[in-house]
Amino acid sequence: MFTPATDANLADLRAALPDGTFKDATDSYLTEPRGRWQGAGTVVAPATTDAVSRILAYCNDHRIAVVPYGGGTGLVGGQLMGEGAVPLVLSLERMTAIRDRFPSENVLVVEAGAILADVQAEAERLGRHFPLSLASEGSARIGGLLSTNAGGVNVLRYGNARAQCLGLEVVRPDGTIWHGLTRLRKDNTGYDLRDLFIGAEGTLGIITAAALRMVPQPVRIGAAMMAVPSPQAALDLLGIAQGRLGDGISAFEIIHRQGLDFLAEVGPDVKPPFAETPDWMVLIDVGLPAGLSPDTALEDLFTEAVAADLVIDGVIAQSMADRAAFWKIRESIPEANRRIGSISSHDISVPLSAVPEFIARGAPVLAEIGHFRINCFGHLGDGNLHYNVFPMPGRNRADYEAERPAVKKAVHDLAHAFGGSVSAEHGVGRLKVGDLETYSDPAKLAMMRAIKDALDPHGIMNPGAVLRQA
């Protein structure tokens, strides 16, 4: 359907675009962050929406595939095209401006290349808070975060990336620009195109700027680690916590002892929260209004939960340093996982009440395939588990090549059987196109295909991502 960019095409583009638009196609653009796949392409980094528009219009006319590129941190290959005609990789890295600040409206208008940590910092400078937060925030860019509807640790309270966005500027495949950078909180004039582009993974057009929603800074912040007897107890604890503190619960993360065992085995070095590590722990983060003490609120919660046999032990942060130490444990687990080397990693979600049974049934299902270590952790408050499967001690992931497909299928089948998702927050990219086909309702797939064909009739936008190349 499309052709590789010829030298003549590239010469045309060079002539039409300002100096500095073309970049060397270094490894960082063409390698998956965990080194698992390799892409290909010519790299352009336009500095303006107008330049993006000219590039897309040209590529649309000449049927050249375009792969949008943000921070390159995606874990499902959405930013890498390794098969088919060599594409143009369009990096937003030069479009990093904060275009406008409206602190009294809690709004920032930023370009798609702005790095998440910079946006967070700008919000803090304005006395506000930008609640999207995830491990790769030092390199992930707003355009990619929105295009993948990124999640992270604060979804429970603030929602995912979609919920942080009021408006978008988008360049369509034919180069026309949708000026949708509204700062309105309410606008019921027509179809919700914003939410269609958010999560479309660059397959319908390129997000070039966004009006982002900030929130007031939580006045009183606190955290606790609590040891729970079971995942069901953790869920019941969440119910009690939300009953008492409502939206004050900012994050509710579950951690299995396997994660702490991995940390002890391979690092990074962290201080375990309990003298004796329990099987299951939760990390609770609270952000409370003026007049409420996080310590007292967490102590009261602890007392009620102990009385209800939902909590065995607990540590309440006495300082911001304590809280940071709790979060360091949680945030070091993915690195420990990487050092151990997973056989298969899964970013699944199930309905909240199904979490305990999913966990209970996962281990025996996998035991039928072989002997593994399971590290199950993640955003319990959202029903989103990172359910990752590892080699037994003394072996490594390469020893399990034969079992890997069966492991992945077993975990995904199980999540699906509970009405779950096989990609809760990482997206589809190219890695999960087959999963999407396997597990999606046919009517959903048919509508997605119809929308893709309607909005990108030549199929130039990130071909092969989300939907198989037609």
% helix / strand / coil in the chain, to the nearest 5? 40, 20, 40
Stretch that binds a copy of itself, among 180-188, 260-268, 308-316, 393-401 (CB under 8 A): 180-188
Contact 214, 128 (CB under 8 A): yes
Which of 244, 282, 245 is CA-nearest to residue 376? Answer: 282
Question: What are the start-end ranges of the E strands in 149-195?
Answer: 165-171, 177-180
> Applying CB under 8 A, which of residues 10, 196, 312, 374 lies at the interface with a copy of itself?
196
Site track 404-423 with a copy of itself (rule: CB under 8 A), x = hit = ---------------xxxxx
Quote the least distance from Cβ 390 to a copy of itself, whole Å.
Answer: 23
> Applying CB under 8 A, which of residues 51, 424, 431, 461 lies at the interface with a copy of itself?
424
Between residue 145 and residue 164, which ones bind a copy of itself under the rule CB under 8 A? 148-149, 151, 155-156, 160, 162-163
Q: Total residues at the site for a copy of itself (CB under 8 A)?
A: 101
Quote the least distance from Cβ 418 to a copy of itself, whole Å.
Answer: 10
Site track 375-404 with a copy of itself (rule: CB under 8 A), x = hit = ----x-xxxx--------------------
Between residue 233 and residue 292, which ones bind a copy of itself under the rule CB under 8 A? 235-236, 239, 242-248, 287-292
Count of beta carbons in the 10 Å neighbourhood of residue 127: 10
Quote the least distance from Cβ 269 to a copy of itself, whole Å.
Answer: 31
Contact 462, 107 (CB under 8 A): no
> Applying CB under 8 A, which of residues 8, 24, 26, 190 lies at the interface with a copy of itself?
190
Nearer CB in complex with a copy of itself: 320/446: 446
Between CA 143 and CA 461, with CA 79 as vertex, the angle to 5 degrees is 80
Q: Is 435 in the site for a copy of itself (CB under 8 A)?
A: yes
Stretch that binds a copy of itself, among 24-32, 258-266, 393-401, 443-451 (CB under 8 A): 443-451
Nearer CB in complex with a copy of itself: 40/51: 51
Q: Is 466 in the site for a copy of itself (CB under 8 A)?
A: yes
Between residue 81 and residue 120, which ones bind a copy of itself under the rule CB under 8 A? 102, 104-107
Contact 256, 183 (CB under 8 A): no
Between residue 324 and residue 353, which ones bind a copy of itself under the rule CB under 8 A? 349-353
Nearer CB in complex with a copy of itself: 304/335: 304
Q: Is 356 in the site for a copy of itself (CB under 8 A)?
A: no
Following DSSP, what letter does each residue of 296-339 receive, concatenated? Answer: HHHHHHHHHHHHTT--SEEEE-SSHHHHHHHHHHHHHHHHHHHH
Give CA 422 to chain center in angstroms.
13
> Applying CB under 8 A, which of residues 4, 85, 126, 195 lies at the interface with a copy of itself?
195
Nearer CB in complex with a copy of itself: 60/149: 149
- Bridge partners of 226, per DSSP, are 282, 314
Q: Half-sphere exposure of residue 428, counting CA atoms within 13 Å on the CB side?
A: 22
Q: Distances in Å between the alpha carbon of 401 and those of 53, 161, 405, 406, 408?
A: 44, 35, 8, 10, 11
Q: At what angle do helices 294-307 and 231-245 cross, to 10 degrees?
A: 130
Q: Half-sphere exposure of residue 343, counting CA atoms within 13 Å on the CB side?
A: 27
Q: Residue 424 and residue 426: Cα distance in Å, rounded?
A: 6
> Applying CB under 8 A, which of residues 177, 306, 325, 406 lies at the interface with a copy of itself?
177
